[in-house]
């Protein structure tokens, strides 16, 4: 569980709701037509932009913003160095019965044990990395599109409300609801874009970059294991992928 995402969402909601309650009842900011225009319009526009399976897949990818399942790179490096030491002593076949939780690392070790050439292992793993990044980028694109579309839908709702208001100037009782639609749709669009969609898109992009670094560490680690590289040299090489602060850990 990513506590920062939870704190950000809950804190933003608390601040917005709290500021509303200070000056007016919460019901004053609840407008069904405005929600239909902004929420429904954003979803429909997203479905026009992408196929339904892609949009549903992006929703699943969004869970990465709430759950950080990636193993610490320091832990992976430690395991790779240990595997490299065993491989140098007993050969790559000595790793056949090793328990490896990381699927990507386990696959690379299994290929090395099967006697596949290091170059072929690296090429295969790199293809998988590129495929993973491509899938994640589609998810980023969907949420960035929603972040750009929500304020636009808010503006459409504002125009609808203004038109309705101008048509009912002779009836003072109808001006209030029409003005509510005009203003609240802009509010809804801004909240959805800048509190939910855009932050999630940025966090997913950051997750992908971190995962790409981890996979690069594993690729280079597998290459070192397959070639019988000295574990100390391999460790120094893998640590170079980390930031200075992470290296100390």
Q: Which residues contact 162 (CB under 8 A, 6 or more apart)?
A: 178, 182
What are the start-end ranges of the H helices in 91-197? 103-113, 118-167, 172-191
pLDDT in the model for residue 164: 80
243 pLDDT exceeds 70? yes
Query: pLDDT band at residue 78, thresholds of 50, 70 and 90?
Result: very high
> How far apart, in whole angstroms, are the C-alpha atoms of residue 67 and residue 64?
5
What pLDDT, in 10s, does the model give residues 107-156? 999 999 888 888 899 999 899 888 888 888 888 899 999 999 999 999 99
73 exposed, middle or buried (CB, 10 Å; 0-12, 13-18, 19+)?
Answer: buried
Place of tokens 């750009």: 148
Mean pLDDT of the chain: 88
Place of tokens 């239909």: 36
Residue-range domain boundaries for the chain = 1-30, 31-73+117-248
pLDDT in the model for residue 83: 92
What pLDDT, in 10s, does the model give residues 12-67? 999 999 999 998 888 888 888 889 999 999 999 999 998 888 888 888 878 777 87
pLDDT in the model for residue 6: 87
| pTM for the whole structure | 0.81
């Amino acid at each position: 569980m990513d506590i920062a995402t939870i704190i950000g969402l809950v804190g933003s909601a608390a601040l917005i709701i709290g500021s509303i309650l200070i000056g007016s009842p919460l019901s004053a900011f609840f407008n069904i037509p405005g929600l239909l225009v902004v929420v429904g319009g954003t979803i429909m526009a997203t479905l026009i932009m992408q196929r339904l399976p892609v949009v549903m897949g992006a929703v699943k990818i969004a869970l990465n913003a709430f759950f950080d399942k990636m193993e610490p790179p320091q832990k992976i490096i430690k395991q790779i160095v240990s595997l490299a030491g065993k491989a140098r002593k007993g050969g790559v076949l000595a790793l056949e019965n090793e328990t490896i939780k990381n699927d990507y690392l386990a696959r690379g070790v299994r290929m090395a044990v099967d006697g596949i050439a290091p170059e072929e292992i690296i090429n295969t793993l790199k293809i998988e990395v590129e495929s993973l990044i491509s899938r994640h980028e589609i998810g980023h694109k969907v949420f960035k599109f929603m972040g750009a579309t929500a304020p636009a839908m808010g503006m459409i709702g504002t125009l609808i409300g203004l038109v309705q208001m101008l048509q009912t100037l002779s009836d003072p009782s109808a001006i209030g609801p029409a003005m509510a639609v005009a203003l609240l749709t802009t509010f809804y669009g801004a909240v959805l874009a800048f509190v939910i969609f855009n932050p999630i898109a940025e966090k997913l992009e950051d997750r992908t970059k971190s995962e790409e670094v981890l996979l690069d560490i594993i690729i280079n680690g597998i290459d070192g294991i397959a070639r019988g590289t000295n574990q100390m040299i391999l460790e120094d090489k893998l640590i170079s992928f980390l930031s200075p602060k992470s290296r100390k850990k």
